[in-house]
Amino acid sequence: MSEEIVLSIFRGDAAGGQEVEYRVPLTPGMVVLDAVHQVQAHQAQDLAVRWNCKAAHCGSCGAEINGHPKLLCKTRLDDYVGETVHIRPMQTFPIIKDLVADVSWNYEVAKKVPAFQPAVPVPFQMQQFDVDRIQEFHHCIECFLCQDVCHVLRDHNAKDQYFGPRFMVKIAEFEMHPRDGGDRVPMLTHEAGLDMCNVTKCCTEVCPQHIRITDNAIIPLKERVADQYWDPLRALFRKKKDPTATAQSVQG
Amino acid sequence: MASEQFATLESHQYDVLVIGSGGAGLRAAVQAAVPGVKVGIIGKSLLGKAHTVMAEGGVAASLGNLDSWDGWETHFYDTMRSGHFINNYLMVELFTKEAAERVLELEEWGAVFDRTPEGKIMQRAFGAHTFRRLAHIGDRTGMELLRTLQYKAISQDITVHQEVTITKLLLGGDGEIAGALAYYRSTGKFVLFRAKAIVLATGGWGKIYKVTSNSWESTGDGASLAFRAGAEMMDMEMVQFHPTGMVWPPGVRGLLVTEGVRGEGGLLYNSEGERFMLKYDPERKELSSRDVVARSIFKEVQAGRGTPHGGAWLDITHKGPEFIKRKLPGMYEQYLTLADIDITKEKFEVAPTCHYTMGGVRVEAESCATNIPGLFAAGEVACGLHGANRLGGNSLADLLVFGRRAGDGALAYVQDHEPLPQVSESEVEQEIDRVLKPFGVSNGENPYLLHEQLQEIMSGHAGIVRDGPMLQEGLAKLTDLKVRAQNMGVTGSRVYNPGWHSVFEVQSMLTLAELIVRGALARKESRGAHWRTDYPDELPEVGQWNYVQDLDGDAVRIREVAVPAMPSELSQLFDRGVAPGVYASQQQAKEK
């Protein structure tokens, strides 16, 4: 019963820090967040960790466990029996303290995504098979683990050139909505930096919601860009997307 | 000498300040942000993380997409009946008339609901709703609603302050709202918000209980702030225990199992394999109201017919894996990852979990105004819509309908209130000293452990089952805990310090816990979620009252206020013994 787990948690802030070891009694089904809470309650009151729901709905508790971006609330400790569990904040963003990263950049990017633009009045007539594709994107919990692992953002720190996978999913959600009348393709290839992604699929691998980010959002968006900008035949007839034309085609 | 001077404080000014960035707060802000009106939102967490994401099953609105006999009258009938008639009927009327429009508005803003074969918004059956009524997106409707409102809000001219904790509501010279003092969690620095109107949309206080479906946020900060500022609180004894929370393993105890499982056909069994809801509510069975189902499970466990970890079995395997994974993907994933159970293949254990607080700040139905001029409240923090028991799906519709109304109410208020009221410098400086005090306490009480003790007391003395002596004893324990709480201490710096934040939350929860117990002692009957074994029956003479509590100096004052009486055109809806939509369909069948 008195089995223990050893956690090595990063303690520190922008000025620096190091991992500190804590021992916590293991209980059945315990997740990493439970163990972090144990440490908070009994050993380090001021240990900073972000969390809300503890049910993988809110996406607050993203961090790196033994180097892998994961949700603390969804990672079982029995996967690590006999190992020290190293927990560090997401590395792609500036640190605030301990396990809490400053993810504010993501919220700045979010403001740049043009809102959904209904082309027809509600209530919409849409079949389930029309919306299956975009409902996948609606599963996103904005944990930003995909942003954390994206090498464009992580290794090249190209935050001024690429919105990152999360916002490709968000743009895809609006762009592929059967009743949307907006056109985000010019933005995708320019400000959003879609071309920066070279489809290594790391984002898909870490997504706790199992969204096939690369295959179902990024690649189809790249195809739209290619059609509109690089298809030589289309280039001959290229003209701007007309939202009223879309509206009519949707109604008809 | 104050620790920080008023003059050097960071300060922001808004016409309308919304406290709370969940569904109700965002909907209020979207409504209030008209040209020329400066709107700010404060969130204790990051944007898009609020407890609204935890809502799973759907949003109730009588669209009638599947059952064409549904309409606002039947939704009204269901809501009043399940609230055991202590609801504010006018709130229920406005709510049931407006919910459908609010749902369609979400669709217009980008929410993508599941569809019917005809391509309309799909609706599912839920406990004690006469018709299939809950518009939904699988089992993650709250997340869809929150995300839609979040992106709607940021596309408007609204400033969002994330991870900011309000410690006090500030009043002007005439007792009107004037602003709030807060601190940034990331730095621990204080910030003053001055505002002509404040919309409180801070949610509930399920974290007062040990077994709860509620997220970190639900510590009742807003309700407690309002109460301390002089707001009237109503029917605080009414706390909903959702029948189905997870039971095992210990770390997930209380985590919500959506009512959608039963809505989609899930059945409840005791350890003897008996489908016990046939006994407790032969008519509505598993889809009875939450108070009834929760009590039924509790009684089965008490009678020794519980599952290994003290719950009931819920079984939906007969619907087949494809159906379950499509309609309840979150539940499938949740049990598989957290409990190693495949719900498409085996039954699973569930037990009641604290889910929702029907009581809260007393408001006017139309505008959501409180008794403090300029202070409005919407969503779970407010009281009146749900009465003694909330129907599933009514909370999401609540925050849309009354979030919008509170936004309008605040907007109307600021348009004839100029200029910005003054706040008291000395009051602000004293508050800063108070909030910083725990840093100066050495060997103080640990706020995390006090929170655990508070949860033990409330679960043991004011939980799903209550009686007079049990409540009295609970009140005495709370009084002791309050004394100890005055000596809470924290370690570390002010930078992102959750221990420091816990001090504030424990104070909020202690304030509200006392109101729950006092309310429960005052209501000498059983009604809806409030079940007293010493007064086991619903008593008409008690049911005519709402219990209102406010501060009289430092003391809590409680009084009976008459439940608003329905006009005859509404009360006659209940005369026929069946729901209006059912009656209408029966009449038509007769005519044929």
Q: Write the pLDDT tens digit of every residue in A137-192.
A: 999 999 999 999 999 999 999 999 999 999 999 999 999 999 999 999 999 999 99
Residues A114 and A88 in one domain: no
Contact across the interface for B215 and A58, Cβ inside 8 Å? yes
Nearest CA-CA partner of B70 in B92, B100, B47, B32 = B100
- Find where tokens 């009743």 sit: A179
Q: Write the pLDDT tens digit of every residue in B6-46.
A: 889 999 999 999 999 999 999 999 999 999 999 999 999 99
Phi first, then psi, for residue A80 (nearest 5°) are: -125, 25
pLDDT score, position A235 = 63
The stretch B506-513 carries a mean pLDDT of 98
CB B509 within 8 A of CB B451: yes
Count of domains for chain A: 2
- Find where tokens 């940034």 sit: B184
B49 touches chain A (CB under 8 A): yes
B500 touches chain A (CB under 8 A): yes
Residues A87 and A142 in one domain: no
Phi first, then psi, for residue B11 (nearest 5°) are: -140, 140
- State the DSSP H helix or E strand holding residue B249, giving kind and residue range, or none if neither: none
pLDDT range class, residue A249, cuts 50, 70, 90: very low
Residues A237 and A179 in one domain: yes
DSSP sequence for A4-58? EEEEEEEEEETTEEEEEEEEEE--TT-BHHHHHHHHHHHT-TT-----S-SSSSS
Residue A82, exposed/middle/buried by CB under 10 A (0-12, 13-18, 19+)? exposed
- Find where tokens 């979620």 sit: B529
pLDDT range class, residue B447, cuts 50, 70, 90: very high
pLDDT score, position B16 = 98
The stretch B352-380 carries a mean pLDDT of 98
Indicate the pairing of strand B312-315 with strand B348-357: antiparallel
- Measured CA to CA in angstroms, residue B553 lies from B482, B518, B550 at distances of 17, 17, 9
The stretch B165-171 carries a mean pLDDT of 98
pLDDT score, position B173 = 95
- Picking from A101, A132, A152, the residue at the C-terminal end of a domain is A101
Whether the pLDDT of residue B339 is over 80: the answer is: yes
Residues A133 and A219 in one domain: yes
Exactly one of B262, B362, B461, B523 is catalytic; name it.
B262
Residues A163 and A224 in one domain: yes
pLDDT score, position B253 = 92
Q: What is the dihedral of CA B579, B583, B585, B589, to 10 degrees?
A: 150
Sign (positive or negative) of CA dihedral A143, B144, B356, B382: positive
pLDDT score, position A228 = 85
Q: Write the pLDDT tens digit of every residue in A12-62.
A: 999 999 999 999 999 999 999 999 999 999 999 999 999 999 999 999 999
pTM assigned to the model: 0.96
The stretch B560-566 carries a mean pLDDT of 98
Residues A90 and A159 in one domain: no
CB pairs < 8 Å spanning A and B:
183
Nearest CA-CA partner of A91 in A155, A185, A135 = A155
Q: What is the CATH number of the domain that holds A79?
A: 3.10.20.30
Nearest by CB to B48, which of A41, A46, A142? A142
Provide the token pair at B67: 């059952």
As a whole number of angstroms, the distance between CA B208 and CA B228 comes to 18
Residues A97 and A213 in one domain: no
Strands of the sheet containing B239-246, edge to edge, are B239-246, B348-357, B312-315, B267-269
The stretch A66-79 carries a mean pLDDT of 95
- Measured CA to CA in angstroms, residue B429 lies from B113, B183, B192 at distances of 49, 13, 11
Angle among Cα B132, A56, A70 to the nearest 5 degrees reads 155
Q: Write the pLDDT tens digit of every residue in A75-130.
A: 999 889 889 999 999 999 999 999 999 999 999 999 999 999 999 999 999 999 99
Residues A47 and A119 in one domain: no
DSSP sequence for B161-204? E-SEEEEEEEE-TTS-EEEEEEEETTT--EEEEEEEEEEE----
Residues A131 and A95 in one domain: no
Nearest CA-CA partner of A212 in A149, A162, A152, A168 = A168
pLDDT range class, residue A243, cuts 50, 70, 90: very low
Q: What is the CATH number of the domain that holds A220?
A: 1.10.1060.10
DSSP sequence for A68-95? EEEETTT-BGGGGTTSEEEEE--SSS-E
Whether the pLDDT of residue B250 is over 90: the answer is: no
Q: Distance from B367 to chain A by nearest Cα, in Å?
A: 27
As a whole number of angstroms, the distance between CA B565 and CA B580 comes to 19
**Which residues partner with B171 through β-bridges?**
B177
| Strand intervals (E) in B222-335 | 233-234, 239-246, 267-269, 312-315
pLDDT range class, residue A251, cuts 50, 70, 90: very low
- Measured CA to CA in angstroms, residue B127 lies from B69, B91, B103, B260 at distances of 18, 21, 20, 9
- Picking from A82, A101, A120, the residue at the C-terminal end of a domain is A101
Contact across the interface for B498 and A47, Cβ inside 8 Å? yes
Whether the pLDDT of residue B66 is over 90: the answer is: yes
Whether the pLDDT of residue B468 is over 90: the answer is: yes
Nearest by CB to A174, which of B110, B446, B498? B110
Q: Distance from B360 to chain A by nearest Cα, in Å?
A: 22
pLDDT score, position B237 = 98
Q: Which residues contact B123 (CB under 8 A, 6 or more apart)?
A: B58, B63, B65, B66, B67, B116, B131, B132, B133, B134, B135, B136
What DSSP designation does A143 have?
-
pLDDT score, position B2 = 59
Instruction: Tell me the one-letter amino acid at B481.
Output: L
Q: Write the pLDDT tens digit of every residue in B544-562.
A: 999 999 999 999 999 999 9
Long-range residue pairs from B584-590, CB within 8 A, at least 24 positions apart, any chain: B584/B69, B585/B69
Best mutation target, A39, A57, A100, A138, to test chain B (most B CBs within 10 A): A57
- Measured CA to CA in angstroms, residue B538 lies from B518, B528, B535 at distances of 19, 9, 8
Residues A85 and A136 in one domain: no
CB B195 within 8 A of CB B17: yes
B27 is catalytic: no
- Return the half-sphere exposure (C-beta side, CA atoms, 13 A cut-off) of residue A36: 33
Q: Distance from A205 to chain B by nearest Cα, in Å?
A: 17
Whether the pLDDT of residue A246 is over 50: the answer is: no
Lowest mean pLDDT among A96-105, A226-235, B145-154: A226-235
Percent of chain B clearing pLDDT 90 (strictly above): 96
Domains and CATH numbers, chain B: 9-238+358-415 (3.50.50.60), 242-354 (3.90.700.10), 442-543 (1.20.58.100)
Domain carrying residue A173 = 104-251
Chain B residue at shortest CA distance from A114: B155
CB B185 within 8 A of CB B164: yes
Contact across the interface for B51 and A53, Cβ inside 8 Å? yes
* Cβ within 8 Å of A, B 381-410: none
Residues A80 and A119 in one domain: no
Q: Distance from A169 to chain B by nearest Cα, in Å?
A: 13
Residues A91 and A150 in one domain: no
pLDDT range class, residue A248, cuts 50, 70, 90: very low
Whether the pLDDT of residue A247 is over 70: the answer is: no
- Measured CA to CA in angstroms, residue B505 lies from B51, B66, B447, B521 at distances of 16, 44, 9, 24
pLDDT score, position A245 = 41
pLDDT range class, residue A236, cuts 50, 70, 90: low
pLDDT score, position A57 = 93
pLDDT score, position A238 = 58
Q: Considering only CB atoms, which chain B residues are within 8 Å of A31?
A: 251, 338
- Picking from A101, A130, A159, the residue at the C-terminal end of a domain is A101
Nearest CA-CA partner of A167 in A149, A193, A190, A198 = A193
CB B357 within 8 A of CB B220: yes
B105 touches chain A (CB under 8 A): yes
